[in-house]
Amino acid sequence: QASQEELKGAYRRLCMLYHPDKHRDPELKSQAERLFNLVHQAYEVLSDPQTRAIYDIYGRRGLEMEGWEVVERKRTPAEIREEFERLQREREERRLQQRTNPKGTISVGIDATDLFDRYDEEYEDVPGSSFPQIEINKMHISQSIEAPLTATDTAILSGNLSTQNGNGGGSINFALRRVTSAKGWGEMEFGAGDLQGPLFGLKIFRNLTPRCFITTNCALQFSSRGIRPGLTTVLARNLDKNTMGYLQWRWGIQSAMNTSIVRDTKTSHFTVALQLGIPHSFMMVSYQHKFQDEDQTRVKGSLKAGFFGTIVEYGAERKISRHSILGATVSVGVPQGVSLKVKLNRASQTYFFPVHLTDQLLPSAVFYATVGPLVIYFAMHRLVIKPYLRAQKERELEKQRESTASDILQKKQEAEAAVRLMQESVRRIIEAEEARMGLIVVNAWYGKFVNDNSRKNEKVKVIDVTVPLQCLVKDSKLILTEASKAGLPGFYDPCVGEEKNLKVLYQFRGVLHQVMSADNEALRIPKQ
């Protein structure tokens, strides 16, 4: 966004700094010539609105293409940007055509009640009865894929298979969704299964106002008993910035009326719901706290009470890798008993393992369901997950360092040459600042700092940037914009791919100050 006047001012200042005629030493002169030519090339590109537009959009590659293959030379900057946006849209459409958004769920139900609900008299004559029997009593697998047909039409194919205690079945569904406008979409669904007959459904979504929307879903289920119609309508409204209110009415199979309020903030998620229906009526309250750590840790608890009994649930989930989230929930209910539910989300796939521990309320079952997963997780995290992630990160960093090694070496040589050429200018700037009791950079470092004890084994990787920073001081002010500081004159990247900061110790009006700034953070000193 720099104006032509700002570009000219920066060009003049760098020309004065790197002009070859200002340096008599042959080595400094040759280094000055190289940097002076780089500054001149940059100014030539940025001072011409057309080449600047090409550089902004395509980078250096766009400037290096012979015969202006990227875009016609005669076009204006506005036309170049329009062409770029058109190419972006075409690329987005191609990407859309290739995207299938596969989503899947695998659920494996485990019956472990034999661990706690054993009746010894029944096992006296059974061989191997001293070992508890743990069985898989149900399984469910579902999968869906999307096939974008156009920018507004999408085809969705989904299927599922379920089995419980030796009996099972499955179904397959095909849906066609069309976005009718910015305010809504419609979807037609066709399905069939071996346990149930053909299904025909219609779903409509519509924004009524900017803060309110409605969803209606009607279905016809054909079976040997006849046609079973169903209708579900949901009305939702934004009550405030973080709170949604829902009203749901369901008629047909398991008719019910439901109302709920959901409040979702950066640190918490709260839900309260009330349902009146056949066969289930209940009230539910749940709360989830979101910790602001890099693992995105969340702890949650809920209470659900109704005609079916009362259930208390509590649990936690945590990110264990870039694409994986692991969670565990303990469910304690009357008359349901005690269960442990383990869930792993890996990208768009979900793996769910509900383990039924006992039909009774046994303190021992609650204790082991709570403590067991914690002990296993922390042991796995320390012995397996953490070393694996550390090794993976090191491999990625090493690969990045190797690919950029020659470029970084060149940048380092340019930075060192720039610092040598700045010495005389910096001496004059310091003299002028001392005379007016202005801004003097005492010390400055750029790179990776290690401050907390948990990272004490990591190596500090910083470079001294005192001279380049002092050279940027003008009228007792130092102003850096929101961009990586590795691109500043006299700087280079000392630790590719790692988090970097700038630490400055400076003197202003005879008083020492210290400031720490993130790599892409804007900096203005002296601080007001």
User: What's the whole-number mean pLDDT along residues 396-405?
Assistant: 82
Give which of 251, 241, 185, 180 is closest to 213, Cα–Cα: 185
Q: What band does 67 get if pLDDT is binned at 50, 70 and 90?
A: very low
User: What's the whole-number mean pLDDT along residues 183-196?
Assistant: 90
Kindly report, residue by residue over 129-168, the tens digit of the pLDDT: 567 788 898 999 999 998 888 878 999 999 999 998 888 8
pLDDT of 410 over the 60 cut:
yes
Query: What span, in angstroms and rounded, lies between the C-alpha atoms of 389 and 51?
Result: 43
Residues 405-439, buried b or exposed e (16+ Cβ, 10 A)? eeebeebeebbebbbbbbeebbeebbeebeeeebb
User: What's the whole-number mean pLDDT along residues 107-134?
Assistant: 72
pLDDT of 125 over the 60 cut:
no
Phi-psi region of 348 (alpha: psi -120 to 50; beta: other; left: phi over 0): alpha
pLDDT at residue 27 in the model = 81
More confident call, 238 vs 132: 238
Give which of 306, 304, 328, 305 is closest to 318, Cα–Cα: 328
Please, which residues have CB within 8 angstroms of residue 195's CB and are 6 or more apart in sequence? 169, 171
Give which of 409, 469, 427, 422 is closest to 445, Cα–Cα: 469
User: What's the whole-number mean pLDDT along residues 44-58?
Assistant: 82
Phi, psi angles (nearest 5°) of residue 249 = -125, 125
pLDDT of 120 over the 80 cut:
no
User: What's the whole-number mean pLDDT along residues 417-441?
Assistant: 89
The size of the chain, in residues, is: 528
pLDDT of 193 over the 90 cut:
no
More confident call, 510 vs 234: 234
User: What's the whole-number mean pLDDT along residues 187-215?
Assistant: 92
Give which of 504, 475, 440 is closest to 9, Cα–Cα: 475
User: What's the whole-number mean pLDDT along residues 37-60?
Assistant: 84
* Domains contained in the chain, CATH given: 1-74 (1.10.287.110), 407-527 (no CATH)
Q: Report the percentage of the chain scoring pLDDT > 90.
A: 42
Angle at alpha carbon of residue 98, lines to 97 and 102, rounded to 5°:
110
Kindly report, residue by residue over 295-325, the tens digit of the pLDDT: 889 999 999 999 889 999 999 999 988 788 9
Query: What span, in angstroms and rounded, lies between the C-alpha atoms of 237 and 126?
Result: 61
Query: What span, in angstroms and rounded, lies between the C-alpha atoms of 455 and 448?
Result: 12
Q: What band does 455 get if pLDDT is binned at 50, 70 and 90?
A: low
Q: What is the mean pLDDT of the chain?
A: 86
Q: How many other C-beta atoms lie within 10 A of the C-beta of residue 320?
A: 20
pLDDT of 77 over the 60 cut:
yes
pLDDT at residue 68 in the model = 44
pLDDT at residue 66 in the model = 46
Q: What band does 94 get if pLDDT is binned at 50, 70 and 90?
A: low
Cβ atoms of 444 and 502 closer than 8 Å: yes
pLDDT at residue 507 in the model = 92
pLDDT of 452 over the 70 cut:
no
Strand positions, DSSP E, 267-406: 268-277, 282-290, 298-306, 309-321, 324-334, 337-346, 349-358
Q: Is 403 exposed, middle or buried (0-12, 13-18, 19+ CB in 10 A)?
A: exposed
Q: What band does 204 get if pLDDT is binned at 50, 70 and 90?
A: very high
pLDDT at residue 396 in the model = 85
pLDDT of 109 over the 90 cut:
yes
User: What's the whole-number mean pLDDT along residues 44-69?
Assistant: 73
Is the pTM for the entire model greater than 0.75?
Answer: no
Instruction: Of 73-82, 305-314, 451-460, 500-509, give the lowest mean pLDDT range.
Output: 451-460
State the maximum Cα–Cα separation within the chain, in Å, rounded to a whole number: 103
Query: What span, in angstroms and rounded, lies between the C-alpha atoms of 524 and 519?
Result: 14
More confident call, 280 vs 506: 506
